[in-house]
């Protein structure tokens, strides 16, 4: 994904250094519009230190790293600790979620949204640990995230999503969330050290409202 978070981003962007001193001193404020999200099988909440071991284990997978923009590979416990620290500081997007299983609290992946500079668009991103793939978890997480964005942020007109052209599973998640194809292009991959072909999708508020319930999407 292109979005800052969704890139599971480990690198510092210039924007981070432009944050006001108030934002840096009061990182919790940054999450005030990112409420804990509950769905049928999931709890999505801010990442914290207890996630580090599972995060390091699940993220250290080339099948994950090569599908997101800026996840290092190999992925170490230090990378995981840094990721948690920086999400707490608001350095990696302002709305990064740990995806956890409601039944036992297990950390299974990450998702989030990152605002674009236009102030009207956010970009969604996600990854899940391989043992949890193909159980509908990411679709469930994205439905909750999309609902939260459109219900709580009247300033947001549209949500963008990007995936590698070869990423069949992610494209399917995007489709199951009602996103519409916009175009294709290239995006950087940290793990691969090169640009890769990506597809760009968008879900606008009007379309989201017209879907009424996620059950209407095949």
Ligand X SMILES: CC(C)(COP(=O)(O)OP(=O)(O)OC[C@H]1O[C@@H](n2cnc3c(N)ncnc32)[C@H](O)[C@@H]1OP(=O)(O)O)[C@@H](O)C(=O)NCCC(=O)NCCS
Please report the sign of the dihedral spanned by the C-alpha atoms of residue 65, residue 49, residue 138, residue 37.
negative
CB of 132 to ligand X, least distance (A): 6
Residues that bind ligand X (CB under 6 A): 1, 63-64, 67-68, 126-128, 133-139, 163, 167-170, 172-173
Nearer residue to ligand X within complex by CB, 64 or 159: 64
CB of 83 to ligand X, least distance (A): 15
Nearer residue to ligand X within complex by CB, 30 or 137: 137
Nearer residue to ligand X within complex by CB, 30 or 129: 129
Nearer residue to ligand X within complex by CB, 30 or 143: 143
> Using an 8 Å Cβ cutoff, are 183 and 201 in contact?
no
CA 51/CA 74 separation, integer angstroms: 18
Given strand 158-164, what is the order of strands in its sheet? 37-38, 42-45, 95-101, 107-115, 121-128, 158-164, 194-204, 180-189
CB of 84 to ligand X, least distance (A): 19
CB of 134 to ligand X, least distance (A): 5
**CB crowding 197-208: b at 16 or more within 10 Å, else e:** ebbbbbbbbeeb
Nearer residue to ligand X within complex by CB, 30 or 110: 110
CB of 38 to ligand X, least distance (A): 17
Here the tokens at position 71 are 């996840």
């Amino acid at each position: 994904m292109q979005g800052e978070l969704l890139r599971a981003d480990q690198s510092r962007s210039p924007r981070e250094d432009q944050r006001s001193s108030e934002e840096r001193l009061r990182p919790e404020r940054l999450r005030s519009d990112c409420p804990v999200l509950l769905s049928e099988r999931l709890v999505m909440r801010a990442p914290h230190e207890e996630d580090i071991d599972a995060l390091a284990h699940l993220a250290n997978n080339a099948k994950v790293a090569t599908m997101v923009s800026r996840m290092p590979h190999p992925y170490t416990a230090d990378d995981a600790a840094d990721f948690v620290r920086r999400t707490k500081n608001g350095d990696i997007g302002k709305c990064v979620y740990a995806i956890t299983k409601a039944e036992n609290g297990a950390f299974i992946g990450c998702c989030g949204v990152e605002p674009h500079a236009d102030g009207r668009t956010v970009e969604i991103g996600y990854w899940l640990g391989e043992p949890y793939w193909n159980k509908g978890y990411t679709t469930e997480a994205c439905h909750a995230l999309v609902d939260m964005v459109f219900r709580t942020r009247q300033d947001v007109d549209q949500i963008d999503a990007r995936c590698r052209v070869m990423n069949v599973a992610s494209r399917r998640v995007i489709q199951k969330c009602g996103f519409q194809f916009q175009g294709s292009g290239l995006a950087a991959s940290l793990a691969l050290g090169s640009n890769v072909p990506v597809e760009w999708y968008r879900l606008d508020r009007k379309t989201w409202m017209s879907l009424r319930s996620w059950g209407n999407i095949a």
